Amino acid sequence: MRVVIQRVSEASVTIEGRITADIQKGLLILVGVEGADTNEDINWLCAKIAKLRIFGDDNGVMNLSVTEADGDIIVVSQFTLHAATKKGNRPSYIKAAKPDVAIPLYEDFVKTLQQETGKVIQTGEFGADMKVALVNDGPVTILIDSKNKE
């Protein structure tokens, strides 16, 4: 499972002209599910994200987690995070999980992150054509792959 975590001063998701998620300060998390992912990947990532100290404290030092900084969270599914680009110019998505595997894992990711942070997690819609708007604060962007824990 791969996530791209962006610290934002605002972010939103729009589907068919309707805003489905909207936050101010917090995290926009893009999640790519791989066929080999399990609940172990979800638990490890959510624990890591909940404790990730990427918000500034009173001295401007990145010492606070999203909960300590009273930030909000949007999670958006994005299978293109598993694009293989080694050969040719057309990305291959062979490692990305099929919807019957990806949807339950994505939903479990959202539930687990909610439990870890105590936050209501806003989301996009799995498989929808989404317009994601954000103002990256910093910029701070972090990529984490659960297959690279060591």
Residues in Cβ contact with 129 at an 8 Å cutoff, skipping those fewer than 6 apart: 15, 16
Q: What is the full DSSP assignment across 73-100?
A: EEEEE-GGGG-B-SSSSS-B-TTBPPHH
Model confidence at 149: pLDDT above 90: no
Instruction: Tell me the domain boundaries of the chain.
Output: 2-145
**Between 39-51 and 99-117, two packed helices, what is the crossing angle to 10 degrees?**
40
**For domain 2-145, which CATH number applies: 3.30.43.10, 3.30.420.40, 3.50.80.10, 3.30.950.10?**
3.50.80.10
Q: What is the pLDDT of residues 61-114, one digit of tens each?
A: 999 999 999 999 999 999 999 899 988 899 999 899 999 999 999 999 999 999
| Model confidence, pTM | 0.95
Q: What is the pLDDT of residue 32?
A: 97
Q: What is the pLDDT of residue 66?
A: 98
Catalytically annotated residue among 20, 80, 112, 117: 80
Please confirm, yes or no, whether 80 is among the known catalytic residues: yes
